[in-house]
């Protein structure tokens, strides 16, 4: 059964580790992440961007697929199905479809409008036992057409949003989606510490998990980050493993063209990377 992310994130915050949000794109992705979570005895959050939801045939299809896999694969670790960077309309649609967690990304609104809309979702999600992520200070880079300028969030604004009673708060601290450029300045830990001081107990969310050096990940966790989002890195390892298979001409040998065989190396590459991240984030054996 899908669960809200609230309990797993409060536990992570108190235990000084982070739960990974891994974005899904299809059946292979979802199955690889769920199986790895189970093998690692780790809680997990499946992230679905609005673009990926559309790609998979809509939110009902996503909920049906994930629930079916939980049952069919006997997944017993806590799993949350989470809308990533949700629009105002997307939050209503995913709740209706059966998601157990949502992000309302109001970072591109004025802080007053972000507060107004987030407040509405605090009440709605609380009434349904669903977890809610809010965002202050947009995350840089581009994800599925959602472009953020990469601001450093203002701690006082973070407090205004956290005090509304959101489950978790994403705050820009120099992180960006996608690959980091060579000249990236790194995460701003002074800003993160100020945000933590201002927001108290709210678990903090680090977007743009791909390519952040391990030491920075650990420092971010020590400063209150309890959820880390990873998307691009799984796409990169999937593409690389698939390319190797095709370039080696394996699809031309015997029944190597069978889609289950073509997709198998990418599937295994996702599993390996998710395990590496769970071990790094400290969520292994925390289910």
- For the beta carbon of residue 185, count every other beta carbon within 10 angstroms: 8
Annotation says 84 is catalytic: yes
Burial 23-32 (b: 16+ CB within 10 A, else e): bbbeebbbbb
Q: Which residue has the tokens 């209706």?
A: 96
Token digits for 185? 């300045």
- For the beta carbon of residue 67, count every other beta carbon within 10 angstroms: 15
Q: Which stretch binds ligand 13P (CB under 6 A): 10-18, 59-67, 147-155, 204-212?
A: 204-212
What is the Cα–Cα distance from 79 to 207, expressed in whole angstroms? 19
Rule CB under 6 A: is residue 286 a binding residue for ligand 13P? no
Pick 41 or 235: Cβ nearer ligand 13P = 235
Burial bucket for residue 144 (CB in 10 Å: 0-12, 13-18, 19+): middle
Pick 144 or 268: Cβ nearer ligand 13P = 144
Rule CB under 6 A: is residue 203 a binding residue for ligand 13P? no
178 marked among binding-site residues: yes
Rule CB under 6 A: is residue 43 a binding residue for ligand 13P? no
> Under a CB-based contact definition with an 8 Å cutoff, are residues 133 and 102 in contact?
yes
Rule CB under 6 A: is residue 80 a binding residue for ligand 13P? no
| Minimum CB distance to ligand 13P, residue 253 (Å) | 34
Token digits for 169? 């708060």
Token digits for 208? 């743009």
Rule CB under 6 A: is residue 233 a binding residue for ligand 13P? yes
Please tell me the total number of residues recorded for the chain in this structure.
287
Pick 31 or 85: Cβ nearer ligand 13P = 85
Rule CB under 6 A: is residue 237 a binding residue for ligand 13P? no
* Among 177, 196, 227, 271, interactor with ligand 13P by CB under 6 A: 177
Give the pairing type, strands 101-104 and 44-49.
Answer: unpaired
Token digits for 228? 């880390």
* Among 210, 283, 284, 286, interactor with ligand 13P by CB under 6 A: 210
Token digits for 154? 């203002």
Phi, psi of 224 (to 5 degrees): 110, 0
Q: Which stretch binds ligand 13P (CB under 6 A): 9-17, 67-75, 230-238, 245-253?
A: 230-238
Rule CB under 6 A: is residue 230 a binding residue for ligand 13P? yes
- The catalytic position among 84, 144, 163, 258 is 84
Pick 80 or 231: Cβ nearer ligand 13P = 231
Pick 112 or 182: Cβ nearer ligand 13P = 182
What do you get for the CA distance between the two ends of the chain, in Å?
Answer: 14
> Under a CB-based contact definition with an 8 Å cutoff, are residues 5 and 47 in contact?
no
Rule CB under 6 A: is residue 231 a binding residue for ligand 13P? yes
232 marked among binding-site residues: yes
The DSSP bridge partners found for residue 98 are none
What residues are designated binding site for dihydroxyacetone phosphate? 178, 208-210, 229-232
What residues are designated binding site? 85, 105, 135, 177-178, 207-210, 229-232
| Binding stretches for ligand 13P (CB under 6 A) | 23, 47, 84-85, 143, 177-178, 207-210, 229-233
What residues are designated binding site for Zn(2+)? 85, 105, 135, 177, 207
């Amino acid at each position: 059964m899908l669960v809200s992310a609230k309990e797993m994130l409060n536990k992570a915050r108190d235990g000084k580790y982070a739960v990974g949000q891994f974005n899904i794109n299809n059946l292979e992705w979802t199955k690889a992440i769920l199986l790895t979570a189970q093998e690692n005895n780790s809680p997990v959050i499946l992230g679905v961007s609005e673009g990926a939801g559309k790609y998979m045939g809509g939110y009902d299809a996503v909920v049906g697929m994930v629930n079916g896999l939980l049952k069919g694969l006997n997944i017993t670790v806590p799993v949350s199905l989470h809308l990533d960077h949700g629009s105002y309309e997307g939050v209503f649609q995913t709740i209706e479809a059966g998601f157990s967690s949502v992000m309302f990304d109001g970072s591109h609104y004025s802080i007053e409008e972000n507060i107004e809309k987030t407040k509405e979702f605090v009440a709605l999600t609380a009434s349904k036992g669903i977890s809610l992520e809010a965002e202050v200070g947009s995350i840089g880079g581009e994800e599925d057409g959602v472009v953020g300028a990469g601001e450093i969030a203002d701690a006082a604004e973070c407090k205004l949003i956290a005090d509304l009673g959101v489950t978790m708060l994403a705050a820009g601290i120099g992180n960006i989606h996608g690959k980091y450029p060579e000249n990236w300045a790194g995460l701003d830990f002074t800003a993160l510490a100020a945000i933590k001081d201002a927001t108290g107990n709210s678990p903090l969310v680090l977007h743009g998990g791909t390519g952040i050096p391990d030491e920075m990940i650990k420092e971010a966790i020590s400063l209150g980050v309890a959820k880390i989002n990873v998307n691009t890195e799984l796409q990169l390892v999937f593409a690389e493993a698939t390319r190797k298979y095709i370039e080696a001409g394996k699809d031309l040998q015997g029944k190597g063209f069978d889609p289950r065989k073509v997709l198998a190396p990418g599937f295994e590459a996702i599993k390996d990377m998710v395990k590496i991240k769970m071990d790094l984030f400290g969520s292994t054996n925390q289910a």
